[in-house]
């Protein structure tokens, strides 16, 4: 009943930009932390950026200075603005959120299905 819907992935040249969006929908009471993770072939999933409900942000070292995470609580949406993209940014990017369903005080962690980002000339 709760799902995360991602958009904005695709193919971009090195140095280019992309903005990923992830909208939560369903029977939602509250959304707490939201974040972006990525997984490249043969590698473990890793944190890209995370944002708390109060706005505090956390970035991986590889993301700092290039990526910006933000959220629109009214739209239940989290964004990832990616600038100065590098080939090593190529990965499947996953949206993640801690969400309490309607009628519940306990949040559950949810994952999106992932969106492919390819940085190549």
The per-residue pLDDT for 114 is 97
The per-residue pLDDT for 1 is 84
When the pLDDT of each residue in the chain is averaged and rounded to a whole number, the result is 97
The per-residue pLDDT for 79 is 98
User: What is the average per-residue pLDDT within 26-47?
Assistant: 97
Q: Is the pLDDT of residue 47 over 90?
A: yes
Q: Is the pLDDT of residue 17 over 90?
A: yes
User: What is the average per-residue pLDDT within 36-60?
Assistant: 97
User: What is the average per-residue pLDDT within 48-71?
Assistant: 96
The per-residue pLDDT for 115 is 97
Q: Which residues contact 9 (CB under 8 A, 6 or more apart)?
A: 18, 20, 93, 115, 116, 117
Q: What's the chain's Rg over C-alpha atoms?
A: 14
- Asked if residue 21 lies in contact with residue 6, where contact means CB atoms within 8 angstroms, the answer is yes
Smallest Cα–Cα separation from 56: which of 66, 70, 46?
A: 70
């Amino acid at each position: 009943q709760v799902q995360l819907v991602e958009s904005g992935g695709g193919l971009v040249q090195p140095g280019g930009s992309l903005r990923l969006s992830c909208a939560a929908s369903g029977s939602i009471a509250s959304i707490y932390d939201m974040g972006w993770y990525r997984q490249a072939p043969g590698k473990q999933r890793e944190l890209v950026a995370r944002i708390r409900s109060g706005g505090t942000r956390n970035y991986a070292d590889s993301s700092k200075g290039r990526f910006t995470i933000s959220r629109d609580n009214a739209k239940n949406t989290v964004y990832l603005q990616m600038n100065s993209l590098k080939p090593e940014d190529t990965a499947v990017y996953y949206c993640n959120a801690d969400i309490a369903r309607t009628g519940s005080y306990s949040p559950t962690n949810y994952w999106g299905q992932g969106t492919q980002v390819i940085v190549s000339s």
